[in-house]
Amino acid sequence: MTDISSEPVVDLLCDLIRRPSVTPDDAGCQLVLTERLTQLGFVCETLQFNDVTNLWARRGSESPVLCFAGHTDVVPPGSKDEWRYPPFEPTFDGDFLYGRGAADMKSGLAAMIVALENFLAAYPNHGGSLALLITSDEEGRARDGTLKVMDTLRARNETIDWCVLGEPSSQHTLGDIVRIGRRGSLSGMLTVHGVQGHVAFPQHADNPIRRFAPVLAELHEVQWDDGNEHFPPTSFQVVDIRAGIGAPNVTPAELSARFNFRYSTEWTHESLQKKVASVFDAHDIGYELNWHLSGEPFLTEPGQLIDAVSQAIHAETGSTPELSTGGGTSDGRFISPAGTDVVELGPVNASIHKIDEHVKVEDVITLTRMYQRIMELMLL
């Protein structure tokens, strides 16, 4: 048996894990990628926005553009003593490689680079163009990352037709799930005003908890939607409520709450906000409501890209992937609005953001072949 730890993609993955690129610090990862891409004939641009380093690399000027996208940043390791192996020292154990970012998502990055090298060695005169969009701010606020790169591209009329995001989409085995969209995420920050008073004299006070309670009950009773062909039902969750001033004999002057919608394409953030306002306005309650939109839902319709990704997975595993819109948000929310088809395919996500994050070494090699097949199906 050959030693898989000496495969070029595994070597590159180890190099990336060794760089402690906790958001937004890229820790030199993009420099490593840039060196490899420049050798392949890519024009590489570093796009710096505040403390976030982004990379836009492109080879060719023709349409269509097939772009691989992802992030070099990782979440903090937490207590290093709890790790089986030091988080930034890639360590092989059995079939697995341990290290922060092993699954989310330095495997995806390494697989993209080596897949590009193999593809271009075999087909230097392919059709269309190849591109990479890499950020160091996916795990953080995500304001100066992919969003700003897309703004930059839009300003110069540069478009991406198809995008493969290397996020860890798989659940049990490599390629069992690909993401073809994501739910939207909208948060409400609420303040309900009242008048503070003595608990024994409620007639002289106006308790905001009492005013808010029926509204809260009604919000939980609304059947937001039943989902649709591609999305689960929209969910409404309250994440925080606080009001009391800490004394048992005082009713509070103010209540604050925070809630979140994970919503399907049956809604936009505007239509959700309107519906919530109508529930509040049906009650006699003085309130202020501020909204934060993390991302509208997006969906890539069945077509050439999804077909190619499914076919590439089938060729390597013999199975057909489940097409899913589950999970949290991803940077796909910034790329899709430009009219780009976005599909997410990456390693198994069971250990992401956890202590002892790891990836099956064989999967990284297979993922590289999947990416190469996608290029062959889209650009030849």
In terms of phi and psi (left: phi > 0; alpha: psi -120 to 50; beta: otherwise), the region of 246 is left
User: Quick one: which segment of 61-69, 98-106, 309-317, 367-375 binds Zn ion (CB under 5 A)?
Assistant: 98-106
Among 9, 17, 103, 105, binds Zn ion (CB under 5 A): 105
Going from the C-alpha of 61 to that of each of 12, 43, 130, the distances in angstroms are 28, 11, 9
Q: In the bound complex, what is the minimum distance in angstroms from residue 68's beta carbon to Zn ion? A: 14
Which residue's CB is nearer to Zn ion, number 76 or number 244?
76
Q: In the bound complex, what is the minimum distance in angstroms from residue 27's beta carbon to Zn ion? A: 16
Q: In the bound complex, what is the minimum distance in angstroms from residue 138's beta carbon to Zn ion? A: 5
User: Quick one: which segment of 86-94, 96-104, 196-204, 359-367 binds Zn ion (CB under 5 A)?
Assistant: 96-104
Which residue's CB is nearer to Zn ion, number 185 or number 234?
185
Q: In the bound complex, what is the minimum distance in angstroms from residue 167's beta carbon to Zn ion? A: 5
Which residue's CB is nearer to Zn ion, number 134 or number 361?
134
Give Cα 321 distance to the centre of its chain: 19
User: Quick one: which segment of 101-109, 251-259, 273-281, 336-344 binds Zn ion (CB under 5 A)?
Assistant: 101-109
Which residue's CB is nearer to Zn ion, number 146 or number 264?
146
Q: Is 104 in the site for Zn ion (CB under 5 A)?
A: yes
Which residue's CB is nearer to Zn ion, number 102 or number 361?
102
The structure tokens listed for 180 are 């073809």
Residue whose beta carbon is closest to Zn ion: 104
Q: In the bound complex, what is the minimum distance in angstroms from residue 279's beta carbon to Zn ion? A: 35
Q: In the bound complex, what is the minimum distance in angstroms from residue 233's beta carbon to Zn ion? A: 25
CA neighbor of 263 nearest in space, from 255, 251, 272, 252? 272
| Active site residue ranges | 73, 138
Site for Zn ion in 139-168 (CB under 5 A): 167
Q: Is 73 in the site for Zn ion (CB under 5 A)?
A: no
Which residue's CB is nearer to Zn ion, number 168 or number 321?
168
State the number of binding residues for Zn ion (CB under 5 A): 3
Q: Is 331 in the site for Zn ion (CB under 5 A)?
A: no
User: Quick one: which segment of 16-24, 104-112, 253-261, 309-317 binds Zn ion (CB under 5 A)?
Assistant: 104-112
Which residues would be at the binding site for Zn ion (CB under 5 A)?
104-105, 167
